[in-house]
Each structure stands twice: as structure tokens, then as C-alpha cells.
Amino acid sequence: MTGIDVVLSRKDMTFEEAADYFKERIPVSADIFYAIAEEYRSLAFTVSGYTKAQILKKFYDELLSALEEGRTLQEFQSHMRDFLELEGYEGLAPQQAELIFRTNIQTAYNVGHYQQMTNPAVMELRPYWQYDAVNDASTRPSHLAMDGRVFPADSPVWDVWFPPNGFKCRCTVKTLSRRQVERRGLTVEREFPAVEPDPHFGTNPAKVRFQPDLKGYPEPLAKAYRAREKAGPPKAP
């Protein structure tokens, strides 16, 4: 079991930062989502195969509840299966449920982790970050190529390579002190790695956040955001 799997299985452990990040995401249809520039897609939320607003909203609410209340993958799948069947759909296959759940929850948790790692006090004490991939047969070669590599915490590498770096990515990033780097004989790299994340995962979602005036954001996303604000705060699922 990986570190992120432990987090996702514990009902008593949630990041406030993760929930705050997810609350900023706007449910939109897939056509709007893929019309948005890749750097802004972390501000939107969609589920492939579903276009109705109420369906997308239900997915969004269930994932937010998972973050705020520590609900499990099994609970998410059960709730969504029952809801979709009542709406006339076939339900939700286990593989699809896991893909939706893990991709969104892991993204939110990693954003929360990033917020904690970039606290000025933490950055001063632990100025280096190390990429940590799971070493097993399921790990993608590009992710494995990053495993163990160390870069300064403020390196632009983390604008591209901060997890998740693909669907169901299990990678994480660790903070290191100068003493740990020296004691372990680690090399701090400065050059950008030649390998790239999976398609559509080459941005750091923690570094693109909504501003109140929406200045500079794509119109489809800004329009969806204004519509949500006009409708008021989301009701409890």
C-alpha cells in the first residue's frame, strides 16, 4: 500500500487545503473542459461520458464529501451507482469509479500537500524536494525515470512534474533538509529532465488558482464560475 492509498483509506485524515482547492473547481461539460487551455484545466471539473449538469454536479458533490468527510472509494462508487441508476444510467463500473475517484482525490491531496510544503518556514528548513515513484510493475517508465531525483524546492521542474502526472498516478514528492541531502549522498539537479509527464498532466494544479476578478481566465471557465456564484453556495449532498 502506498502513502496516498493510506490517506485515501483513512476516514479520520483529510487536508483542509485539499478540500479548499476542490471547492474552487467548476463542473463543466467535457467539450468546455477540453476547449480550455491545459494550464487552466485544473480549475474545471468534468467526467467523460456525462453531459447533464445535475450528473456532473453529483459527481462533484460526492468527491467533495470524500475530501471533507474522509469517505472511501467504495462509498463513492456505491452512492454514484445508486444515483446513476435512478437517473436511467447503467451505473458506474468499478474501474471507472476508481479512475474518477483517485485522479480527483489525489490531485486535491497533492495540492494540499504542496500548500504545506511551500510554507516559508518549511521551505527554509527543507529547501529540497525529491520525486518518489512507486517501484512496481504498474509504474510508468517516465514516472520511474523521475524516482529519487532531487531538485531545489523552487525549481521550475515542479511546475511540470508535481504529481499527479497521469491518470491514477501514485507518485508523491518528499521534502528534504540540506543535512539529509548531504548524509544520503544525493545530487541536487539543476537541469530540466528530458522525460515528460503523461499528456494533459504537465502543469502544477496548485499554482493556478481563481482570482476574484477572473482577470485573464478563459471566458468559458469564467462564465461557468459566474453562473455558480450567482446560484449561491452548493447544497449539502
Q: At residue 211, does pLDDT exceed 80?
A: no
| Per-residue model confidence (pLDDT) at position 216 | 66
Q: In which element (H, E) is residue 76 found?
A: helix 73-86
Q: Which residue has the cell 531545489?
A: 152
Per-residue DSSP letters for 110-171? HHHHHHHHTSHHHHHH--EEEEE---STTS-HHHHHHTT-EEETT-GGGGTSPSP-STT---
What would the pLDDT profile of 140-186 be if each residue is shown by its tens digit? 999 999 999 999 999 999 999 999 999 989 899 999 999 999 999 99
Per-residue pLDDT tens digits for 115-153: 999 999 999 999 999 999 999 999 999 999 999 999 999
Residue 173's pLDDT is 96
Q: Which three cell numbers stand for residue 219?
A: 471566458
pTM > 0.85: no
Asked if pLDDT for residue 80 goes beyond 70, the answer is yes
List C-alpha distances in Å: 31 to 15, 35, 176, 199: 31, 6, 41, 17
pLDDT confidence of residue 13: 41
Q: Which helix (H) or strand (E) holds 44?
A: strand 44-45
